[in-house]
Structure 1
Amino acid sequence: MHFHGLEPCLDTLQGFPEAMQEGENVLVFAYAMHALKSGNVARARHLISRRFGADAHDVTRVLRDTERFPLDFRLFRFLMAMYEDIAITDAMRDMVFDALGEVPLDDHLQRGSFYNAMLEVVVRRREYDAADEIARRARHHYRQADAHLLGFYIDLYQAILCLMRGAMSFAETHVRDADESLAKVPFDTPSDARILGLVKAVIRYEQGDVRTLVRFLNEEFDRFAYGEIWPTVAELAINYGGLALSRHVAPAAARVFLDKWRVQEWRSNRFRLVITLREVAVLQNGNRWQEASDLLTALQSRVNRTWVEGAVENLVRLVDPQEIALVLAWLRHLIWEVPSRPLLREQVTEFLRNGHLTDRQAVTLRLWAAHLAKLHRDMTTARSELVKALEACARLGTIMPLAEETQFLDRLLEDKRIREFALASNDVRQIMRRVRALDTPASDGPRRAGLTRQEMKVLLLVVEGGSNKFVARQLGLSEVTVKFHLSNIFRKIGCRRRAEAIATAKALGWVA
């Protein structure tokens, strides 16, 4: 499968007698992996339960019962759990490492696959130092096994890891490595090429290029098979895609994009939270604060509004990445809604002491600290915190936190003294030029949304009040073709009705 591709693998499997296909572990695993790679998680679950019984769905039980479940199945079940987005506990991780001890040192493919799956675990848990070491080990074993496709996955993961941390220059290096690894694969693997295309588009966005990412989301994204993307890659797509579409196309387009992911909400509470928090950010950036608050409240977490409003010392002790993300969402809401609350500045300052924040999260908090200081006329602190935030972005090479917080950033830079102080550094000026490059003229908006010239002509006539018959007559088209163009327009800008498309076009400045 990894050396010749999915279809040759399936052809080979189907050449075995049916009894062997159902009774030999290695063939069952191969069929299940084929299903996983094809995005059919349900099929894989059915195959393993048919072979090992209903208990095979319980990952903890499989890992613990070493007498009933053989080593190869325990390791495969752990790998499969990554596709299912099952939360891996510390106890489960310890059992898997114990199982690894039974794998021969020269079984590079098995050991590499173990570290590949473990990499997903530590990345989700934001254990970045551990992720670097695990990626190094996986890469070593795959090189020994001459498994270029599997090596590609590690290169890709390392690029994503750098994007999550904000280390852009390293992300670009790993993408080049991934390109080289994929070029060595002796068969076509379009889904992997698409994932690499997504990561490249995200990097281009960080460099100030909006069009590439929006075009990818409009033209390529729907080609991914259901379940084809591992959760960490999905999280990258959700966060960057949601931001790009809401900021550069329309909030409605971002919400339609996020709705496509809700079919996978069954995977885990963590995945559901990722989608919901991105939708919250879309609503907040669209000044729909009450709707955002309603979504956060519906999550029913212990980290709710009441908890956040009273938390100070507890903010330093938070460890769980999901709870940290929730606090940030609520703090953002409170800073916008009631910025005069005396406790807010202390909360932001205290939260910055939390050692489990990512660099990007720290940048966000510093922007908020600067905003609050300016509101309290503490210009010295406002300038200092803003410079720290901008210099951190310049050092990391990331602009996403700045793009996400433009409503606070713009208010800070309205003040001439703050602006001149903050932009004194050449590195900061360069990073701000990339942020401003995202704000291309409104007239370019339709192209960024992926509208063709003909679709834009149709939209302009519709905005003027033209019926389908009128538009068809004006453009020399059939009414069926006009309906087809309208369907494409609605999909690309995230609208469901004619009136909504008209309102969106006007709001974005595409038409007068």
Structure 2
Amino acid sequence: MSPDAPPPERILRKPLVDRILSDQTGTVFLRAPAGAGKSTLMRDAADRLGTSVCALHTPRESDVQNGWLFWDVPGSARTARLSAQVAETVEHLVIAHRPSQKITGLARRLLHGGTQTLDARALSFSADEIGTRLPAPAMRRLLDDYAGWPAFLPLTAAPDPALIADYVGETFLSQLSPAPTIRLSIWLEAPTPDPDDDWCDALPPFLLSAPDTQSALIGALRTAVAARLEAFSNSSAVTEVATALEAAHRPLAAMALLLDHGHEAHAAQILAHSRGLELIYDSNLDEFSRIVLRFSPEVVATNETVLFAITRTLMKQGEFQRVRQLVAKHLGSDYLDPLKVLSRGTRFSFAARRFRLNMMISEDMTPSDAMLQRLGEFMADYPVGDDQKWAAFYNALLEFEIRRRNFREAEAAAARALIYFRKIGGHPLLEFFIHLHLIVLHLTNGDVRLARPAARIAREKLQSVTHPVEQEFRMLHLAEAALAYEDGQPQKLVAFVEQEFDAFARAEIWPSLFHFAIQYASQAVMDHYPASIRPGFLDGLWLHLAERMDLLQAVQIRTATAYQNEGRIGEATATLQSLRAAQSVPPEAMTPDWLAQLNDRNTITLAMARLRCLVESPAPGPDIDRQLAALESSPKATLRETVSLKIWRAHLAHKRRDTAAARSQLQAALLSASRLGCFGVLSEQRIFLAPLLRETRIRQHLDTAPDIRATLSKYAESISTPKAKARSGGLTEREAQLLQLIAGGYPNKRISQALNIAQPTVKFHLSRLYAKLGVKKRSEAIQSARALGWL
């Protein structure tokens, strides 16, 4: 054949005809989907013998010619039967049929005579069979684009994608019900070789064995399947399609289809079958939200599963106030009181009580002993075999114990939750949250060594989640940035604040993580941004927390810390004193006995901030050493806080010129930081460390210990901020402060107020700053400082 000749409409397949006519079993099956060329092959064999082909549902005795019966079973037949009379008469039987068709009446014949089957693979064209009977381009197209399927032979010269799609829909898919069509559509999303499903018999075998090479046929199949599913969905079969989607583990798609067609009750049933609240953890949040928020108010009012799915979605979006309004509207205002919801004999359902526990995680509430007793009573109602519910229960306990600073109990709750997750075969996303909790726990306590393996496992778990989890990756990025900060590398934390913090803060964040975020993000801002920017950052953070009044104290404390680091003790003290908790405990009430008995996270944090002001003030008070020692002895003080307290005690001893005491306290602090791997706390306390380390006798003593030398090296890396560079470049602390303030646009009057110094003193310090930079005015000073990396 000439290379340019068009392909023939058909190719005589002599080897296959010979196999049929030389059969010794007496029964030959041509078993393949439509388009395999069964009818053509049968006609060629019949023509060779001079007989005809029977195309009836049930052959007659008269259709047997010369002992041969060529029976082409009609494609419309689901079943076909060979009568006993014909079975006894025929000597050579050839049957062409589709895999989905059942042929009966042959059992005795097959038992005694055997059978030969030419299946779809045998009927597909191969390169050896075609040889030179097709032009090379046509042969490549037939084999590579059309899986060697005989029906597509006429299209090898002039492909017609629309015609192929129509043919596929009319022949391959016509016998498929909604369920296998759904499963086929899922396979087509990412075709893998050699699938095993009941729809496989409807397709060419070479397409299934190498789908990545059959792009044209895969494309036609996708088009045809989409058209068939649309036809199903627009007919009375819509509920059948939804049921098939649910069976194929596509509950969201099933719900969307049902909601499109007004079947809300059925959609709610599928949500319930899919474990309702838990479905959000197995789904893309945006897709889940779009679907569940489509339920009508009438369904929300009467169906708790839908109500809790919607409120859980709103919580994930950071809309906690809307959640409270919805549950109060539909369940009553007493639902907002967790003690009433969790108590024995409550009117609320088990699902409502579980969701109330879920809400408690998002509320910055430190459970009382009475609350924990209620939780213990509620635990008795949990189903014994529902491991995922038990895992969620211990996840809640984990959060509560972190808030109560019961770190060992929190670790035990985490271990218990992970045991239950293992029982259900694992759940990467929920296990990620457990390990993220452990990172927060260990870094909050100050034990960085234990936080690192938790971070590694958290990343592994999150990377194995199959749906998008952007917000969870932001949480992980924060944790990893905090770990880098603890290792003396603050750049990741600064990048997180600049690039991700805003989106992070707008979504759902449970309180212990938010406290953690406030601590680390504000530290990065204090260390690396001009003073004028810092209040703006904290104000912006407060906008995100407008619904969460209980986090105001954490933000205000960090604002006060920023003032303290600038030497603005008056403003720091005023900021702290404005808090209601501080107003209820005047400074004289902060006795050593009172401090030693503190056990509440918020109270301890506030006490630390107030003591820091006293340590930095010119006249800290006669009891300051006893106050610091008392708080350090508290069993609820974190390891991180005890390091800070030791540094403050060293600073006070140094101010009293008690070098031995200063050296002892500082050495203890540095050894603790080294043992814990918690180097970030040293950077945070640099205003106290710096004068201590400039003391020759103290520094020489510290340098004799290798562990402390390594710790101080980490500390030096961590403080390589613009302000630190300015200090090392010859500026005093006050001059470095002034440089930051003029860069922020502060006039002399505001600088005077900010630093609590007279305006002539401001001018004096500015003149010295200009002299050191070799400039004469502010703009030149700012330009020069930026060139030096001091801003």
TM-score by length of 2: 0.55
Partner of 1:397: 677
Q: Does the C-alpha gap of structure 1 residues 358 and 507 become closer, same or farther in structure 2, counting only changes over 3 Å?
A: farther
Partner of 1:209: 489
Deviations 1:104-134 (A, max 9, x none): 1221221111221222111112111110011
- In 1, Cα distance between equivalents of 2:348 and 2:780: 60
Q: Does the C-alpha gap of structure 1 residues 60 and 500 become closer, same or farther in structure 2, counting only changes over 3 Å?
A: farther
Q: Does the C-alpha gap of structure 1 residues 8 and 269 become closer, same or farther in structure 2, counting only changes over 3 Å?
A: closer
Partner of 1:78: 357
Partner of 1:349: 629
What residue ranges of structure 2 are gaps of 5+ in the alignment?
1-279, 726-741, 746-776
- In 2, Cα distance between equivalents of 1:340 and 1:91: 39
SS in 2 for 1:251: coil
SS in 2 for 1:322: helix
Q: Does the C-alpha gap of structure 1 residues 82 and 505 become closer, same or farther in structure 2, counting only changes over 3 Å?
A: farther
Residue 442 of structure 1 and its aligned partner are, at CA, apart by 3.4
* Native 8 Å contact 1:165 1:359 kept in 2: yes
What residue ranges of structure 1 are gaps of 5+ in the alignment?
446-461, 466-498
SS in 1 for 2:575: helix
Matches within 5 A, 1:136-155: 136-145=415-424, 146-155=426-435
Amino acid at match of 1:85: D
- In 1, Cα distance between equivalents of 2:634 and 2:778: 43
* Native 8 Å contact 1:13 1:21 kept in 2: no
- In 1, Cα distance between equivalents of 2:609 and 2:367: 25
| Alignment root-mean-square deviation, CA | 2.9
Q: Does the C-alpha gap of structure 1 residues 74 and 294 become closer, same or farther in structure 2, counting only changes over 3 Å?
A: same
Partner of 2:524: 244
Matches within 5 A, 1:261-272: 261-265=541-545, 270-272=550-552
Matches within 5 A, 1:21-32: 21-32=300-311
* Native 8 Å contact 1:303 1:323 kept in 2: no
Matches within 5 A, 1:258-337: 258-265=538-545, 270-300=550-580, 301=582, 302-308=584-590, 311-337=591-617
Amino acid at match of 1:149: L
- In 2, Cα distance between equivalents of 1:391 and 1:321: 25
* Native 8 Å contact 2:640 2:681 kept in 1: yes
Residue 9 of structure 1 and its aligned partner are, at CA, apart by 3.1
- In 2, Cα distance between equivalents of 1:256 and 1:152: 33
- In 1, Cα distance between equivalents of 2:652 and 2:372: 42
* Native 8 Å contact 2:447 2:639 kept in 1: no
* Native 8 Å contact 2:497 2:524 kept in 1: no
Tell me which of the two structures has the higher relative contact order, counting C-alpha pairs closer than 8 angstroms and 6 or more residues apart: 1
Amino acid at match of 1:131: A
Partner of 1:55: 334
Partner of 2:462: 182
Matching residue within 658, 678, 698 for 1:378: 658
Deviations 1:156-215 (A, max 9, x none): 110111111111122111111111111221101100011101111111111111211111
Amino acid at match of 1:137: R
Which 10-residue stretch deviates more, 249-258 or 367-376?
249-258
- In 1, Cα distance between equivalents of 2:783 and 2:368: 48
1:112 is aligned to 2:112? no
1:91 is aligned to 2:370? yes
Residue 14 of structure 1 and its aligned partner are, at CA, apart by 6.2
Deviations 1:38-80 (A, max 9, x none): 2221332233223312222222222226331112211211211
Q: Does the C-alpha gap of structure 1 residues 411 and 46 become closer, same or farther in structure 2, counting only changes over 3 Å?
A: same
- In 1, Cα distance between equivalents of 2:780 and 2:563: 20
- In 2, Cα distance between equivalents of 1:305 and 1:502: 45
Select the structure of larger CA radius of gyration. 2
Greater helix content: 1
Residue correspondences, number = 461
Amino acid at match of 2:650: A
Q: Does the C-alpha gap of structure 1 residues 313 and 91 become closer, same or farther in structure 2, counting only changes over 3 Å?
A: closer
Q: Does the C-alpha gap of structure 1 residues 303 and 17 become closer, same or farther in structure 2, counting only changes over 3 Å?
A: closer
* Native 8 Å contact 1:39 1:228 kept in 2: yes
Partner of 1:491: none
Deviations 1:210-256 (A, max 9, x none): 21111111111112263521111111111111111111222333322
Partner of 2:162: none
Amino acid at match of 2:569: W
SS in 2 for 1:252: coil
TM-score by length of 1: 0.83
Deviations 1:349-392 (A, max 9, x none): 33322222111111111111111222222222111111000000
Partner of 1:362: 642
Amino acid at match of 1:165: N
* Native 8 Å contact 1:316 1:354 kept in 2: yes
